[in-house]
Amino acid sequence: MVTFPIVRMRRLRRTETLRQMVRETTLTVHDLIYPMFVVPGEKQRQEVASMPGVFRVSVDELVRDAEEVARLGIPAVLLFGIPERKDEWGSEAYDENGIIQRAVRALKRAVPDLVVITDVCLCEYTSHGHCGVVRETPSGFEVDNDATLELLAKTAVSQAAAGADIVAPSDMMDGRIKVIREALDENGFAHVPILSYAAKMASAFYGPFREAAESAPKFGDRRSYQMDFANKREALREIALDLEEGADMVMVKPALAYLDIIALARERFEVPIAAYNVSGEYAMVKAAAKMGWLDEERIVWEILTAIKRAGADLIITYFAKEVAQRLRAQ
């Protein structure tokens, strides 16, 4: 009878100290980006029903929250704006006195070292809720790709002029990175990097976000411009095209159901990769924890570690503050 020696894998798992010494993936506060929603008015703090612990806040409250974020050591925030009025063209997105532009100026005055990332899209600002200019066709309505590009470029330039450190186009229009890069360069903002939502899936995980940002489409859906979630090769092509056009960093969104895309992107591209732990992922954990079905702290740590292990350099997550507090306590 042939016998084989037992491979003793468990020797280095016996104690927490040993496990920490050989741990391959370590989550740090520098990996985190905290998303924030800004609304008009003063002293506004509206909890999002489907996202417990997440609030839509006015600019004065935003500053206070951002100061807390900075104290926790979180390096960056990602801003989404809900305007005072919406129109067919999303004009408040590129208004120099728009909600995001005011928020950026306030944050850079109050917390100058905090990196402020701004979402570049029209969906929160249009009356129809789509990410671009809508035109009528014989078969119905569709988003006009090329007509949208100019407005996206105007939005990015106005945000950079307000002081945004990074602009993040999330619209998924073809060619938008090239147009935005050229507009930034021509207007004196060559130093402002672009974080492209390069592989953004047409996902059901965005539901709570659309409540928070008041950005649900009034008709149709976004599958004609956001990616088919079944396609892996197409996701890598989207990333490659955005990098060719001038993106400095790329994003995969959502994160948890697309760890394979994150891993493949990490293997292929030598640029920083962000992953968005989106609203639906957050809401599911919160709901299960409320019912006592999951240990929230442990599951959040596991999820975010998995996203980083897959290859993400940056993780956008609504859990950022809780994780930062835990890291500080360690």
Query: Helix, strand, coil: what percent of the chain each, to 5?
Result: 45, 20, 35
Of 86, 154, 200, 308, which residue is the catalytic one?
A: 200
**How far apart (Å, rounded) are the C-alpha atoms in residues 284 and 234?**
28
SS (H, E, C) 28-65: CHHHEEEEEEECCCCCCEEECCCCCCCEEECHHHHHHH
Strands (E), 156-255: 166-169, 195-200, 249-253
In angstroms, the Cα distances linking 139 to 67, 120, 133, 143 are 50, 29, 17, 13
Which DSSP state fits 82? -
**How far apart (Å, rounded) are the C-alpha atoms in residues 324 and 143?**
40
253 noted as active-site residue:
yes
Q: b/e string for 249-275 if b means 16 or more Cβ within 10 A?
A: bbbbbbbbebbebbbbbbeebebebbb
DSSP 150-180: HHHHHHHHHHHHHT-SEEEE-S--TTHHHHH
Closest CA to 132 of 120, 114, 145: 145
Of 43, 154, 232, 253, which residue is the catalytic one?
A: 253
**Token pair listed for 225:** 């411009």
Q: Is 210 exposed, middle or buried (0-12, 13-18, 19+ CB in 10 A)?
A: middle
Which DSSP state fits 137? E
Helices (H) and strands (E) in the chain, counts: 11, 12
86 noted as active-site residue:
no
Report the DSSP beta bridge partners of residue 224: none
**Token pair listed for 120:** 């570049």
User: Which of the residues are catalytic?
Assistant: 200, 253
